Structure 1
């Protein structure tokens, strides 16, 4: 059996007490799957009208769980930003940085502007509606450790997304105000309602630390917590966003348990899908190897950890030629002498300076539980 590992620094930031497990007012999740004793959506199994990634849609109501009422987790609708959190008032007794360098963030760069979305906020609100070079949707599911960034549109028109209180395959289910359709975060598609089968247009993002993102993007802004940012429930401030752990005791977002695949559910993995094949790379295995050169469905890939404690996967082709990489002083070294940044895949010197490797993964790193619930046939590297 694979030994249980300590999560990487970034993944550890996702195990705080929050989000899908209970309301942002501290209300525990209803283990019976009903909001405040009310009925679960009883949509009967319907004739499929669309298929997304081998999933027939719409999903039946019996596949959805409703631990919380709609909007109990308050999506952010008017985000506010600043260069850092230094201007915020620290809670009594807090004498450390309010947003330390190792705090995990989702980073987005679009239209020449960079912004960071701390998990200290996303853990409690899960959905941020905003604009950055166009309508922007930033989402995070604490149960799956998954961050998905997309265009905030339905039918080509901007709309507001909220937290439905439902879960599908243990993942965040959103709704849109325009049509009331339900959207799966990890499937990135509408799974019930008028827009069933529609897909979100995904945008690139980084799952990294605040210090690493700020160093890479000196002019970045960072999301401010409520009451500075407004939510669907107003500007109430109900959480200690400055503590990576909740002051509530005993309420966890699920439990880290060993699965039948031999991995623990909260093992941090980056996964690659290609040519009908899928492979997940556990953090510990990649860190121990330094660099993994592999093939997935015929696609040559290189997988590595990043300086901030994350993971990255790239197509290991340079100038049309398949290349082997090795670890070198915190970077990647390829034939020809160029050194490549692990976090960005960009060559920093040598004959390929300025060239950037193509990403091999569509989805960001996440917990094994989140990935395997949507991709059960995935191979595990090293097994």
Structure 2
């Protein structure tokens, strides 16, 4: 694992006192990290997270860290409770294999964001628990959760808003990683305009969106285009747990499968057990709900860095 200091600690400021509202200032297709419990939903815009990378929040009495690594395209929500302590996380300014390294303010231990594992400090070897969450466009969130709320802007300064290592005032209308997301290269070098890392696969692009699920020692990444090619739905078993993975234009989502046979109709709906199911929420037309699976959404290269080249689902 290659760990390096890139910017000063906290030059990218976490959000520790998040404020939510019903109005959103961005574009309809802006991606949101969404946390939902019993119909209560919160959206955390990537447009905001690009400048902060971590939101320390408490949702329905659950301390969570909503985390985002722009270089890895890695959106993961973690439980902040470790043992008997609730940790709060900040941005260390380091990268581990091009992944965000977080630190906790209670022990100053360092954590690789894409892996959720402590890589240095008092808690080294400890792994954070992934909390169920998903990603979807703003319009999908507002349609599916009309009473949901969205994270609001702050007046903080961030290094991500600057051409130097010195934080500057944030223009949330700007897109600091747009060129990187559109380019073929990946990693810090590609973001900074120099040569990126090499990629030796021809079956999968390095920045293909993957939904990663880990159960015990079993880790499986589901590339979005592969699930689409499989009719938009995959049912499989991971570590003894039956799951169903849906892929659509809205994103890629995973739920526990009660034993149904799902298939996508010619109209794009998902059918099973005599009803239709929403791929983003797991809710059925007759009022039932699938249980969301804790999962990570990230680029293929980051999943491969953490779990190896064979940790991908193949039909």
Closer, same or farther: CA 215–329 of 1 in aligned 2, 3 Å: same
**How far, CA to CA, are the matches of 1:256 and 1:225 in structure 2?**
32
Among 261, 270, 276, the alignment partner of 1:323 is 261
**How far, CA to CA, are the matches of 2:13 and 2:224 in structure 1?**
32
**How far, CA to CA, are the matches of 1:315 and 1:183 in structure 2?**
28
Tell me, yes or no, if structure 1 residue 180 matches structure 2 residue 108.
yes
2:163 corresponds in structure 1 to: none
1:369 corresponds in structure 2 to: 301
1:92 corresponds in structure 2 to: none
Tell me, yes or no, if structure 1 residue 378 matches structure 2 residue 315.
no
CA contact (8 A) 2:54 2:68 kept: yes
Query: Which region of structure 1 is more displaced relative to structure 2, 322-331 or 157-166?
Result: 322-331
2:231 corresponds in structure 1 to: 290
**How far, CA to CA, are the matches of 2:129 and 2:218 in structure 1?**
23
Aligned 1:1-383 pairs, distance under 5 A = 63-85=2-24, 98-110=25-37, 113-134=40-61, 135-227=63-155, 238-245=169-176, 253=191, 259-262=199-202, 263-273=204-214, 278-296=219-237, 301-308=243-250, 310-318=251-259, 323-334=261-272, 336-348=273-285, 353-359=286-292, 362-381=294-313
For structure 2, the residue ranges without an aligned partner over 5 or more in a row are: 160-166, 184-188
Closer, same or farther: CA 248–69 of 1 in aligned 2, 3 Å: farther
**How far, CA to CA, are the matches of 2:36 and 2:222 in structure 1?**
26
SS at 1:305 equivalent: strand
Query: Which region of structure 1 is more displaced relative to structure 2, 264-273 or 137-146?
Result: 264-273
SS at 2:7 equivalent: coil
CA distances 1:6-54 after superposition (whole Å, capped 9, x unpaired):
xxxxxxxxxxxxxxxxxxxxxxxxxxxxxxxxxxxxxxxxxxxxxxxxx
Closer, same or farther: CA 146–154 of 1 in aligned 2, 3 Å: same
**How far, CA to CA, are the matches of 1:246 and 1:202 in structure 2?**
25
Closer, same or farther: CA 256–109 of 1 in aligned 2, 3 Å: farther
CA distances 1:122-156 after superposition (whole Å, capped 9, x unpaired):
11210112222233311101111111112333442
**How far, CA to CA, are the matches of 1:111 and 1:215 in structure 2?**
16
Larger strand percent: 2
CA contact (8 A) 2:76 2:297 kept: no
CA contact (8 A) 2:214 2:295 kept: no
CA distances 1:45-86 after superposition (whole Å, capped 9, x unpaired):
xxxxxxxxxxxxxxxxx742212221121112222222113x
**How far, CA to CA, are the matches of 2:109 and 2:29 in structure 1?**
37
Total equivalences in the alignment? 296
Query: Once the 2 structures are TM-superposed, how far is the Cα of residue 179 of structure 1 from its aligned partner?
Result: 1.0
**How far, CA to CA, are the matches of 2:248 and 2:179 in structure 1?**
32
For structure 1, the residue ranges without an aligned partner over 5 or more in a row are: 1-61, 86-97
Query: Once the 2 structures are TM-superposed, how far is the Cα of residue 290 of structure 1 from its aligned partner?
Result: 2.8
Closer, same or farther: CA 202–209 of 1 in aligned 2, 3 Å: same
* Larger-Rg structure: 1
TM value normalised by structure 2: 0.80
CA distances 1:201-234 after superposition (whole Å, capped 9, x unpaired):
332112111111122221222112221x6989xx
Closer, same or farther: CA 377–111 of 1 in aligned 2, 3 Å: same
CA contact (8 A) 2:13 2:157 kept: no
CA distances 1:249-284 after superposition (whole Å, capped 9, x unpaired):
998537787722322211112244568654433222
CA contact (8 A) 1:273 1:296 kept: no
Closer, same or farther: CA 307–377 of 1 in aligned 2, 3 Å: closer
